[in-house]
Amino acid sequence: MTRSTRAEKIQHLNTAFNLLARGYTLAQAAAELSERSGTSLRQAYRYVHAAQGIKRPVPVSAPAIPITIKVREDIVAQLRAHARSSGLTIGEVVARAVIRWLAREHRRG
């Protein structure tokens, strides 16, 4: 049996959340989730218990694709420090900066 991807785990969690929101009991939700997703009943219970702790479904983001770039050492140090202090990953910091830069470039025409 293969491991679930992050997106699949979020999907299972959201399915469990939706089942509970529709009034399923813990046992009913776990059984239904297990049947729908092909996970074990034990794993389905884990998703159902986790779903009890969230207030709304979790958004499913697009998968990230790793890339390699070369950046000066001093910039990498600043990037790492910023990521650490903001609680974001380096990839999230870079992605946000690139999105802002692309939006600004698009406005320039």
| Type of residue found at 46 | R
Domain presence at residue 47: yes
Could you give the angle at which helices 41-52 and 26-37 cross, rounded to 10 degrees? 120
Number of separate domains in the chain: 2
Neighbours of 45 (CB within 10 A): 19
| Residue reference for tokens 């000066």 | 72
User: How far lies 85's CA from each of 76, 88, 98, in Å?
Assistant: 14, 8, 19
Is residue 59 included in any domain, yes or no? no
Structure confidence at residue 61 (pLDDT): 79
pLDDT band at 105 (very low <50, low <70, confident <90, very high): confident
Q: Is residue 63 part of a domain?
A: no
pLDDT surpassing 80 at residue 11 = yes
In a domain, 31, yes or no: yes
> Is residue 71 within a helix (H) or strand (E), and if so which, with residue range?
none
7 pLDDT more than 90: no
43 within a domain of the structure (yes/no): yes
Domain that holds residue 83: 73-108
Would residue 87 count as lying in a domain? yes
Q: Token digits for 107?
A: 């406005």
Give me the pLDDT at residue 1, please. Answer: 61
The pTM of the full predicted model, rounded to 2 decimals, is 0.60
**pLDDT tens-digit profile of 30-86?**
999 999 999 999 999 999 999 999 999 998 877 788 999 999 999 999 999 999 999
